[in-house]
Amino acid sequence: MVLAQLGGSISRAIQQMSNATIIDEKALNDCLNEITRALLQSDVQFKLVRDMQTNIKKIVNLDDLAAGHNKRRIIQQAIFNELCKILDPGKSSFTPKKGKTSVVMFVGLQGSGKTTTCTKYAYYHQKKGWKPALVCADTFRAGAFDQLKQNATKAKIPFYGSYTESDPVKIAEEGVETFKKENCDLIIVDTSGRHKQEAALFEEMRQVSEATKPDLIIFVMDSSIGQAAFDQAQAFKQMVAVGAVIITKMDGHAKGGGALSAVAATKSPVIFIGTGEHMDEFEVFDVKPFVSRLLG
Ligand code: GDP
């Protein structure tokens, strides 16, 4: 189920409940079951959905609601708050400061949109007057350096990489050092991905992280991966200190539920979303407007 449909289904469920002559336990249960179904179809993890349902029932005690209270509004507010709670890990991520050197490392599976997102992130900051730079520490995928080089050249962002060096740790280290000397304030390290979460990928990530000492590690996740979102995000979090999440491919047929699962798994906020293949199809992510839009 795509995001707009999810929002529509939730709104419809609330509307249906409001249309009932009396909002009793059954009407509330029917509404919550409908919302549960919609969230599961959007690939929100089962446990999150179940917890959310339990919490709402705890908050909305129909017997306690004095006559005259707008039950619909109270229930709607409870649903809004619960969705916000899932998306808000309660702490913000490290925020780089313009003019002060920060190293940001990107991790994620191959095909998640990592390289594209690195450039988008650099371009976003460059437009705001930063001095970003890109380091390609992906020696695994043939063509990775060319892709980064092409993107970086288009955006006029300095880049570092090698066609001959096969050690990603060495490239990452040298790239970061080079750009530190050039006083770049946002040094972005693109790492390799594999198709699966295999040991070699995680070991390489750990070594690159150790060598470059990033101020922030961003986990990039394709929003259309479905129910696998929670486990995938958690696997990355267990291996390196993921501090923020970027969800890609929120355009098209993306399922939005993965975002909720990734936040829950990494206990890190979503900071941006990718909404297309182009450099500027990139949006800052804010929880409340996102949920408001979701609920219509
Ligand atoms: P990587 O292997 O993780 O580095 O992934 P790439 O950056 O090469 O991206 C894989 C594919 O996804 C490319 O065709 C990108 O153009 C595409 N892509 C990346 N982000 C988005 C997005 O937000 N929306 C859409 N529609 N496509 C995206």
Q: Which of 211, 197, 125, 13 is nearest to 5 (CA)?
A: 13
* 153 burial type by CB count under 10 A (0-12 exposed, 13-18 middle, 19+ buried): exposed
Using most ligand atoms within 8 A of CB, pick from 109, 148, 277 the residue to mutate for ligand 1.
277
Q: What ipTM was estimated for this complex? A: 0.99
Compare 49 and 75 and report the one with higher pLDDT.
Answer: 49
Cα(125) to centroid of ligand 1, in Å? 19
Highest mean pLDDT among 24-38, 134-148, 171-185: 171-185
Ligand 1 atom closest to 116 (CA): 7
Residue-level pLDDT at 3: 62
Average pLDDT over residues 124-132: 98
Q: Map residue 229 onto helix, strand or coil.
A: helix
Eight-class DSSP state of 224 = G
Average pLDDT over residues 101-119: 96
Average pLDDT over residues 254-276: 85
Cα(225) to centroid of ligand 1, in Å? 13
pTM for the complete prediction? 0.89
Cα(88) to centroid of ligand 1, in Å? 25
Question: If you search the block for the tokens 């304030």, which residue do you land on?
Answer: 185
Compare 256 and 271 and report the one with higher pLDDT.
Answer: 271
CA pair distance 108, 23, nearest whole angstrom: 45
CA pair distance 169, 232, nearest whole angstrom: 23
Q: In the structure encoding, which two tokens stand for residue 248, read together?
A: 């890609």
Cα(76) to centroid of ligand 1, in Å? 35
Q: Which of 285, 280, 277 is nearest to 116 (CA)?
A: 277
**Which protein residue has the closest C-alpha to ligand 1 atom 19?**
113
Ligand 1 atom closest to 275 (CA): 23
pLDDT digits (tens, 9 = 90+) for 53-106: 999 988 887 776 665 567 778 888 888 899 898 888 888 899 999 999 999 999
pLDDT band per the 50, 70, 90 thresholds, residue 10: confident
Q: Map residue 102 onto helix, strand or coil.
A: strand
Which residues does ligand 1 sit against, CB inside 6 Å? 108, 110-116, 193, 248-249, 251-252, 274-277
Cα(124) to centroid of ligand 1, in Å? 17
Cα(265) to centroid of ligand 1, in Å? 22
